[in-house]
Chain A
Amino acid sequence: MTDTIDEPTASGEDPAGVELHPADESTPANALAPDELVVLVPDVLADSIGDYTRAWWKRIRSGESGALPIIIGLVVICIFFEVQSSAFLTATNIVNLFVQAAFIVLLGMAELYALILSEIDLSVGFVGAVGAAIAMALIEAPQNWPWWAGVIVGLAACAVIGAFQGTIITRLKIPSFVVTLAGLLGWQGVLIYVFDVDKGAVGGVITISNNVISDLVSGNMTPWAGWILLVVLVALFGITSVLKTTRRRAQGLSAPPLSITLLTVGAVAVAGVVLVYICNLNRGALTPVEGVPWVIPFLLVILVLQTVLLGRTKLGRYTYAIGASPEAARRAGINVSLVRTIAFALCSFTAGLAAIVYASRLGSISVGFDGGTYVLYAVAAAVIGGASLFGGHGKPIHPLLGGLVIATLTNGLALLNISTAGTDIATAVVLLVAVAVDSTLRRRGRSGAV
């Protein structure tokens, strides 16, 4: 199939393959060059590794860079910090880095729902905090609810808040920026109110004594459990990937070459082994501390759930459709208001999960929660990772990668004893560079084609 990749298709200037009309030399400006058509879909056009690599490289050059630049950027940043400080690539610090990243990653995943809709939610920080504060107030003395009951109520509160904001946005047709800006102010007030009401809060702080909640981030799996979980996950991923590829081929549908699938599974397995190995090293000074922190599988579960929700359900499909063209979605018979409201509810719900992770890491949640800044980090994480501010694009992996970049910067610069001022400036530069690289690649892709 090499010819489909490097040469114009047999049907000449008419890639849709309706009868060829040699008289029509004047290819319209909006006609698609066959070459362009091909570069967008390496996965479905290549039959061998060689083809795949070539098509993939073409796609990168045409601006559909995917996650590659951000991964390269992450590696470069890591090398830089390792050269500067030998403390950077230690087991303690790497695990610490993931733990630090978890909150921003989750908050970025929350923001992703709004970004795909071509909207923004400025309230995710405080909405999440309100939910977490409610949960903690219920779980801790004097209420002493079971941890799960408190979490359910807290997350439900978040979802209700999100649905409420989403309803205002869709029914009253007020821009999400305005509604959630009001939310940014208002829910901070509600947060303070929760601390006022809760008799267990001391000096505006609810301290967490519940083991389950604090173990979410501070607790570790036993080393063996970590390995077993890894084997199970890689096996599941490998089996489903291979089955999917072979089934598609059996149906006569195009699919990536089996070798590519196997390589992907292999790469995931290697990355997983490295991660689990590092986590299982003893990183305690006096008493041994080892094992994968629970927050890592927790993040993975949320990542998988969100990926399935956005990629494999009607709700997800409609969210992308509305983000690109609400009018097209409406004409397709989609209940646009309902889908948007649900997406805002999911956004706030995920923010609640993020804030619970935050509280678990600090062992407390305080009235001083800086939701205004965190929401900006959440947007930055999603955008650095590759989600678009213009709607219709973005996958859960994007805030994950972007959140890791931000956490790595914060962590590394702190190791170099650089002030908060320096960290803020560095994060700003990385955000700009990431977006600039992305848009430059895209623009070159647009003008380079045709």
Chain B
Amino acid sequence: MTDGGPLLELRGVSKVFGAVRALNGVDFTAYPGQVTALAGDNGAGKSVTIKTISGLWEPTEGQILWEGRPVHLRSPNDAEALGITTIYQDLALCDNLDIVQNMFLGHERMRHHLLDETTMELAARKTLSDLHVTTVRSIRQPVASLSGGQRQSVAVAKAVMQAAKLVIMDEPTAALGVAQTRMVLDLIRRLSHQGTAVILISHNLNDVFEVADRISILYLGQMVAEGPLADFDRQVVVDYMTTGESSRAAAG
């Protein structure tokens, strides 16, 4: 699947907050149909990177290329218009709304100027079953009654529904139990098999090594290693994350 060009490419992206240089000349690529893990210790710049990609912050320097063309992401709406969806740690679902309502929140289908619940429910059900999330008989329950993994599923399905080309998942398995984590990882794999580019931010190297195709490692605002995951082993990744270099690896 690596034959095509990258879907998203950051070239020499820097972000400066006052005296703090949060990102320093970061290069980063994400390919369609692949899961790219973005690793790094706390404060390495993972959040700044994804906020730049999702249009929350404009880079101070550098270029963002989307499908090979330079783009300016000035707001989340710009990113969304391109097909970039970010699924945040706290998920951003409304507890009081049901699954269908959440999946269509902000993108409701209308009929005669009223909400077209039937069409939305059918479409939501199809998307969920395409992702093998088979809560079919209960997609009308409020999200408040769902488990963490199910909420992640709804958030992912929402991204798929909006025809996202790039899905950024911020710590999707934090706070999840074993079974729920498995469910979410399976979902990530299915999402990438459908041709979607996925950027996975995770502290959990087990998750990274289980689903990621590529890895990019940030250290103090700089990209210190990037490449196919097969070129890395756990110890090398840990070395890069903690010290910014690895004596053991030839990769990078």
**Could you tell me which A residues sit within 8 Å of B by CB distance?**
4, 11, 13-19, 21, 24, 26-32, 36-38, 40-41, 43-45, 247-248, 251-254, 308, 312-314, 317, 320-321, 323-325, 327-329, 331-334, 392-393
B93: Cβ under 8 A from any A Cβ? yes
Q: Are B177 and A44 in contact (CB under 8 A)?
A: no
Q: Are B137 and A40 in contact (CB under 8 A)?
A: no
Chain A contacts for B183, CB-based, 8 A: 14, 16, 18
Q: Are B140 and A328 in contact (CB under 8 A)?
A: no
For the complex with contacts A28-B149, A28-B176, A31-B147, 11 further pairs of A-B residues with Cβ separation under 8 Å are A16-B149, A17-B132, A17-B134, A18-B133, A19-B186, A21-B179, A27-B177, A28-B147, A253-B122, A254-B140, A333-B76
Chain A contacts for B80, CB-based, 8 A: 333
Q: Contacts A40-B142, A332-B105 known; A31 to B180 CB distance under 8 Å?
A: yes
- B108 interface neighbour in A37, A247, A317, Cβ under 8 Å: A317
Chain A contacts for B115, CB-based, 8 A: 312-314, 317
Q: Which of B22-30, B95-103, B230-238 contacts A (4 or more CB under 8 A)?
A: B95-103
- Some 20 contacts from A to B, beta carbons below 8 A apart, are A15-B135, A19-B132, A27-B177, A28-B148, A28-B176, A29-B177, A30-B180, A41-B138, A251-B122, A253-B118, A253-B122, A313-B115, A314-B108, A314-B115, A317-B108, A321-B97, A324-B97, A325-B94, A332-B107, A334-B106
Alpha-carbon distance between A55 and B110 when the two chains are bound, in angstroms: 31
Q: Are B177 and A45 in contact (CB under 8 A)?
A: no
Q: Are B92 and A325 in contact (CB under 8 A)?
A: yes
- A24 interface neighbour in B113, B118, B145, B182, Cβ under 8 Å: B182
> What 5 pairs between A and B have smallest CB-CB spacing?
A28-B177, A17-B134, A332-B106, A392-B96, A324-B96
Alpha-carbon distance between A358 and B175 when the two chains are bound, in angstroms: 54
Most chain A beta-carbon contacts within 10 A, residue among B146, B175, B180: B180
B250: Cβ under 8 A from any A Cβ? no
Q: Contacts A18-B133, A332-B106 known; A30 to B97 CB distance under 8 Å?
A: no
Q: Are A24 and B138 in contact (CB under 8 A)?
A: no
Q: Contacts A28-B148, A331-B88, A332-B106 known; A320 to B96 CB distance under 8 Å?
A: yes
B194: Cβ under 8 A from any A Cβ? no
Q: Are A16 and B105 in contact (CB under 8 A)?
A: no
Q: Are A32 and B150 in contact (CB under 8 A)?
A: yes
Size of the chain B interface, CB-CB below 8 angstroms = 51
Alpha-carbon distance between A4 and B141 when the two chains are bound, in angstroms: 15
B132 shortest CB reach to chain A, Å = 6
Q: Are A332 and B147 in contact (CB under 8 A)?
A: no
B114: Cβ under 8 A from any A Cβ? yes
Alpha-carbon distance between A43 and B141 when the two chains are bound, in angstroms: 10
Most chain A beta-carbon contacts within 10 A, residue among B101, B118, B141, B146: B141
Chain B contacts for A43, CB-based, 8 A: 140
B178: Cβ under 8 A from any A Cβ? yes
Q: Are A37 and B179 in contact (CB under 8 A)?
A: no
Q: Contacts A32-B146, A36-B145, A251-B122 known; A16 to B153 CB distance under 8 Å?
A: yes
Chain B contacts for A314, CB-based, 8 A: 108, 110, 115
Chain B contacts for A334, CB-based, 8 A: 105-106
Most chain B beta-carbon contacts within 10 A, residue among A45, A317, A331: A331
Alpha-carbon distance between A331 and B84 when the two chains are bound, in angstroms: 13
Alpha-carbon distance between A284 and B27 when the two chains are bound, in angstroms: 86
Alpha-carbon distance between A317 and B114 when the two chains are bound, in angstroms: 11
Chain A contacts for B114, CB-based, 8 A: 308, 312-313
Q: Mark B108-126, 1 if CB is under 8 A from A, else 0.
A: 1010011100100110010
B187: Cβ under 8 A from any A Cβ? yes
A278 shortest CB reach to chain B, Å = 34
Q: Are B137 and A4 in contact (CB under 8 A)?
A: yes
In the complex, residue of chain B having the shortest beta-carbon distance to the beta carbon of A32: B147
In the complex, residue of chain B having the shortest beta-carbon distance to the beta carbon of A13: B179
Q: Are A331 and B182 in contact (CB under 8 A)?
A: no
